[in-house]
Amino acid sequence: MMIVRLAFQSLLNRWVTALLTVLAIAVSVMLLLGVEKVRTGARESFADTISGTDLIVGARSGSLNLLLYSVFRIGNATNNVTWKSYQDIAKMPEVAWIVPLSLGDSHHGFRVLGTNQDYFTHYKFRHGQTMTFASGGPFKDLFDAVIGSDVAEQLGYKVGDKIIVAHGVGSISFYKHEDKPFRVSGILAKTGTPIDRTVHVSLEAIEAIHIDWRNGVPNPDQSVSADEVRKMDLTPRAITAAMVGLKSKLSTFRVQRRINDYPEEPLSAIMPGVALQELWGLIGTAETALSVVSAMVVATALLGMVTMILTTLNERRREMAILRSVGATPATVLGLLAAEGGLLTLAGVVFGTVGLYAGLYLARPFIDHTYGLSLPIDPPRAEEWLKLGAIVIAGFLAGLLPAVRAYRLSLADGMMVRI
C-alpha cells in the first residue's frame, strides 16, 4: 500500500506527462471497446436486415444467391417464379402471408422493386421494426413510387417529383421507360438496410411499363400509352421471389421441403436467418482485422508509457538513490516503477471506458438516424472485462522494464555529481 501511495505522489509531481500518458491509454481503450461495440452492432444489424420472415422463395439456386438478390438487391435471379406457383404457395394452409418481389429495372443505379401493399406491413427489420414514412405514403396510383432515404438524399427527390425508370440494373441505361414516368408518393425513413437504396413500385406498374416491350427492348410495332395501359389486365406473369410468413414456426421445415420438391417448376426456399449467418461468416474476416488494429493501438499506447517512464528515469536517478539511502530495498524501487505503470494503465482503462459509454450515449441517436446502425449500450461482457484486465496487467508488466533498469542503478552512480 505504501508503494502505491508513493507511486501516486510521484506521478502527481509529473502530472503533465502522466496525464498525457493516461489520455493516450484512454483513447486506445475507447478504440478497443468501441470497435467491439461497432462490430457487435454491425453483426446484429446485419442479422436483422430482415426479420419476421420465415422463408424466402425463388427459382432454384444457391441460398446465398437467392438472399443477395431478394434482400440486398445484389445480382440477378437465375430464373423467375411463375404467378401460378406464387398462388399455389399462397394457398398452402401453413402460410399466414406472402409478399411478391419483382426485380429487373433501376433508376440511376438504384434497384427498382415491384411489390404490393403488404410489403410495407410485413417486411420487418431490426427486432421486428416496420417501415415508417419520413414523408408521403404508400403508392396508390398505378405510377406511384416509394423511394428509400438514400435515394431521396442522393438524388434530391421530394414527394411529388417525377422519376423515369430505366430497363436493366446498370447506372447507365440506353433504354428508359420515358413514356410512363412515376411520381414519388412517399419517402421512407432511414432503416440502415437495402430498403434505403430501393425504389418501390407496384407489381402492376412493373407489368405496365413492360407491356409494349419484347425480349428486353421496346417493340416498335406496339406502343401503349400510360392512359391506355390503365385499362389493361396487369396481372403479373412471373415474379422474381417471394417472402413468406408462416402461421407456426414449427411448420418451417415442412413447408420448405414442400417448396423445394414443388413439381411444377424448380424452386428454392431458404430461411433468411440461416443464410444471413452463412453470409456473415464469409465477410466476417473484417472483424478480425478491426480487432487486430485496435490491439495494436493499445500496444502502441503501452509502449508510449514505457518510453515516458524510461525518458524520465535519468532525471530520477538521484530520487532513486535517496530512496535507497534511507533504507528502501531494490525490490521497493522495482515495485515503485511497476506500480506507476499499473496506476497509469488503470487510470487510462477507467477513463477510456467511461468516455466510451458517454460518447455512445450522446452519439447513438445520430448514428442510428444517419447510418441506421444500432450500437448497444450494455455493460461490458465477460470477454471485454478480460481484455480490460489484460491491459492493466500488461501495463504493470510494461512498468517492470524501466523498473529493472532502475534496479540496476547503483547507489554511488545515483549520488555522483556530473559536471
Band the pLDDT of 418: cuts 50, 70, 90: very low
Out of 236, 270, 304, pick the residue that ends a domain. 270
Out of 244, 270, 296, pick the residue that ends a domain. 270
**Inside any domain, residue 332:** yes
Tell me, yes or no, whether 368 and 238 share the same domain: no
- Given this model, what pLDDT does residue 122 score? 94
In this model, does residue 60 exceed pLDDT 70? yes
**Inside any domain, residue 275:** no
In this model, does residue 98 exceed pLDDT 50? yes
- Given this model, what pLDDT does residue 242 score? 96
Band the pLDDT of 323: cuts 50, 70, 90: low
Q: Which of 116-125, 201-210, 256-265, 358-367 has the lowest mean pLDDT?
A: 358-367
Q: Do 115 and 200 contact (CB within 8 A), yes or no?
A: yes
**Inside any domain, residue 159:** yes
- Given this model, what pLDDT does residue 266 score? 94
**Inside any domain, residue 345:** yes
Q: Do 271 and 49 contact (CB within 8 A), yes or no?
A: no
Band the pLDDT of 229: cuts 50, 70, 90: confident
Out of 270, 299, 329, pick the residue that ends a domain. 270
In this model, does residue 95 exceed pLDDT 90? yes
In this structure, how many other beta carbons lie within 10 angstroms of the beta carbon of residue 29?
27
Q: For 29, what's the count of Cα atoms within 13 Å in the CB-facing half-sphere?
A: 33
- Given this model, what pLDDT does residue 215 score? 63
- Given this model, what pLDDT does residue 310 score? 66
Tell me, yes or no, whether 264 and 319 share the same domain: no
Tell me, yes or no, whether 235 and 303 share the same domain: no
**Inside any domain, residue 277:** no
Give the mean model confidence (pLDDT) for residues 141-164.
94
In this model, does residue 293 exceed pLDDT 80? no
Tell me, yes or no, whether 248 and 162 share the same domain: yes
Number of domains observed in the structure of the chain: 2
Tell me, yes or no, whether 294 and 183 share the same domain: no
Tell me, yes or no, whether 241 and 313 share the same domain: no
**Inside any domain, residue 229:** yes
Tell me, yes or no, whether 121 and 21 share the same domain: no
Distance between start and end Cα atoms, the chain? 38
For the CA atoms of 154, 155, 159, 165, what is the dihedral angle to 10 degrees?
-130
Beta strands in 10-151 (DSSP E): 55-59, 81-82, 95-107, 110-115, 124-125, 129-130, 133-136, 144-147
Query: Which letter does DSSP use for residue 45 in this model?
Result: H
114-145 pLDDT, tens digit per residue, is 999 999 999 998 878 899 999 999 999 999 99
Q: Which of 75-79, 94-98, 119-123, 238-242 has the lowest mean pLDDT?
A: 75-79
Tell me, yes or no, whether 10 and 38 share the same domain: yes
User: What percent of the chain shows pLDDT beyond 90?
Assistant: 38
**Inside any domain, residue 281:** no
User: Which residues sit opposite 59 in a β-bridge?
Assistant: 267
Question: For residues 54 and 285, which has the higher predicted lDDT (pLDDT)?
Answer: 54
**Rounded to 5 degrees, what angle do the CA atoms 29, 34, 40 make?**
135
Boundaries of domain holding 233: 55-270
Tell me, yes or no, whether 13 and 69 share the same domain: no
Give the mean model confidence (pLDDT) for residues 62-78.
89
- Given this model, what pLDDT does residue 173 score? 59
Residue 178 has φ and ψ, to the nearest 5°, of -70, -20
Tell me, yes or no, whether 367 and 254 share the same domain: no
Give the mean model confidence (pLDDT) for residues 249-269.
94
Q: Calculate helix-pair angle for 63-70, 272-283, nearest 10 degrees.
A: 100
User: What percent of the chain shows pLDDT beyond 70?
Assistant: 81
Question: For residues 287 and 85, which has the higher predicted lDDT (pLDDT)?
Answer: 85
In this model, does residue 313 exceed pLDDT 70? no
- Given this model, what pLDDT does residue 312 score? 65
Band the pLDDT of 284: cuts 50, 70, 90: low
Tell me, yes or no, whether 16 and 100 share the same domain: no
Give the mean model confidence (pLDDT) for residues 157-172.
83
Q: Which of 54-58, 99-103, 348-352 has the lowest mean pLDDT?
A: 348-352
Those residues whose C-beta lies under 8 Å from the C-beta of residue 297, and which sit 6 or more positions away, are 28, 31, 32
CA distance 246 to 94: 6
374-411 pLDDT, tens digit per residue, is 777 888 888 888 888 888 888 887 777 776 766 665 44
Q: Share the mean pLDDT of the chain.
A: 83
Q: How far is CA 45 from CA 74, 125, 401, in A?
A: 18, 8, 44
Tell me, yes or no, whether 290 and 174 share the same domain: no
- Given this model, what pLDDT does residue 396 score? 80
In this model, does residue 226 exceed pLDDT 60? yes
pTM: 0.73
- Given this model, what pLDDT does residue 417 score? 46
In this model, does residue 370 exceed pLDDT 80? no
In this model, does residue 160 exceed pLDDT 90? yes
Report residue 284 CA to chain centroid gap.
11
**Inside any domain, residue 300:** yes
In this model, does residue 112 exceed pLDDT 80? yes
Question: For residues 8 and 102, which has the higher predicted lDDT (pLDDT)?
Answer: 102
